[in-house]
């Protein structure tokens, strides 16, 4: 199995013990470890692949707890650094009764933002067959420079670059700056996955169709994916395009569905990049990835809900 290195943030979401309340009304909170790039690494490992997470945590109990979660799940923490001065990032998150998601971040600055280019484990990055990242690591220095350097080292060593922007607008100083920074590394990626919401944000169009998706195409791109929640996903390559339906499940918490989808996809293409050029094979892989995303919505939290390979097989072989 080829190694997938996932770069970026790992943090703890604090979610209310009861649903449908505002942050102020919540009687208490439960720890839900997350951070999209960390979720992707764990998703890969759960499914039987080889993964490493690269990023910075606070040298505190929470940071060491998170590193422990990576290791328990078989993810290499050889690229994890601990900051003596800054805390592990925290976010308080709630889905209010009116359906609005409310976030409150504790990042002033948090350890993940302080990773420097000198702290990168270059040997680990050079051994990656796939290098995956988001955009939260682009928000501030020095992490931004570390991100750019890691991408360049991975690319020169022959890795496939995978990008899921994972827009978190409240973390950016402005929407314009978010868009500019997210797009500043667009042309480097071989594989890009956006959600319907991100497609609208990045194109400025309120249409989610082939035309708006293709406006995000760039010359060196190999595969563009648009995920549509319970409507499945659409795929675009130079040669063909199409869609894959979602699996019908009773969703209780969609957190991590996109990360599960990406982890499943990367785990399949890491050892066979040619899948991207073969529509029949790619569709099979995307069915598998959609099943992973669907399963992840059936349990609370991201990491506890990431499936194993045998769980996915039982969904794929069961009634659709």
Give the interface with ligand ATP as residue ranges (CB under 6 A): 195, 227-230, 232-233, 246-247, 249, 251, 254-259, 261, 290, 293-294, 297
> Which token pair is 176?
């314009």
Question: Which residue's CB is nearer to ligand ATP, number 77 or number 233?
Answer: 233
Token look-up 């009687």 returns 27
* Nearer residue to ligand ATP within complex by CB, 159 or 295: 295
Q: Which two tokens stand for residue 126?
A: 């050079």
Q: Which is nearer to ligand ATP, 33 or 232 (CB)?
A: 232
Q: Which residues contact 260 (CB under 8 A, 6 or more apart)?
A: 39, 43, 289, 292, 293, 295, 296, 302, 305, 306, 307
Half-sphere exposure (Cβ direction) of 293: Cα atoms closer than 13 Å = 25
The nearer residue to ligand ATP, 53 or 247, going by C-beta atoms, is 247
Which is nearer to ligand ATP, 12 or 146 (by Cβ)? 12
Closest approach of Cβ 164 to ligand ATP, in Å?
7
Phi, psi of 81 (to 5 degrees): -115, 155
Please state the closest distance from residue 209 (CB atom) to ligand ATP, in A. 16
Q: How far apart are CA 68 and CA 48, in angstroms?
A: 18
Q: How far apart are CA 223 and CA 225, in angstroms?
A: 7
């Amino acid at each position: 199995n080829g190694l997938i290195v996932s770069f970026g943030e790992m943090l703890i979401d604090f979610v209310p013990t009861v649903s449908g309340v505002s942050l102020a009304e919540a009687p208490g909170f439960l720890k839900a470890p997350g951070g999209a790039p960390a979720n992707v690494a764990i998703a890969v490992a759960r499914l039987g692949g080889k993964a490493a997470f690269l990023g910075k945590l606070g040298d505190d109990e929470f940071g060491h707890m998170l590193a422990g979660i990576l290791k328990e799940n078989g993810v290499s923490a050889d690229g994890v650094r601990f900051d003596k001065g800054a805390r592990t990032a925290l976010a308080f998150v709630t889905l209010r009764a009116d359906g609005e998601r409310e976030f409150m971040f504790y990042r002033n600055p948090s350890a993940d933002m302080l990773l420097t280019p000198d702290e990168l484990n270059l040997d680990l990055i050079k051994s990656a067959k796939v290098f995956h990242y988001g955009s939260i690591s682009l928000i501030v220095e020095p992490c931004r420079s570390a991100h750019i350097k890691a991408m360049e080292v991975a690319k020169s060593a022959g890795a496939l670059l995978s990008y899921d922007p994972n827009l978190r607008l409240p973390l950016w100083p402005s929407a314009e700056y978010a868009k500019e920074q997210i797009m500043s590394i667009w042309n480097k990626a071989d594989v890009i996955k956006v959600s319907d919401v991100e497609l609208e944000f990045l194109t400025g169009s309120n249409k989610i169709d082939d035309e708006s998706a293709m406006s995000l195409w760039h010359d060196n791109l190999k595969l563009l994916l648009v995920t549509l929640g319970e409507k499945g996903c659409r795929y675009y390559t130079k040669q063909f395009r199409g869609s894959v339906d979602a699996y019908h499940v009773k969703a209780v918490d969609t957190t991590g569905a996109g990360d599960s989808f990406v982890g499943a996809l990367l785990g399949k293409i890491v050892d066979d990049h040619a899948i991207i050029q073969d529509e029949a094979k790619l569709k099979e892989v995307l069915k598998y990835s959609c099943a992973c995303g669907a399963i992840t919505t059936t349990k609370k939290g991201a990491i506890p809900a990431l499936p194993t390979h045998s769980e996915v097989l039982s969904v794929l072989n069961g009634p659709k």
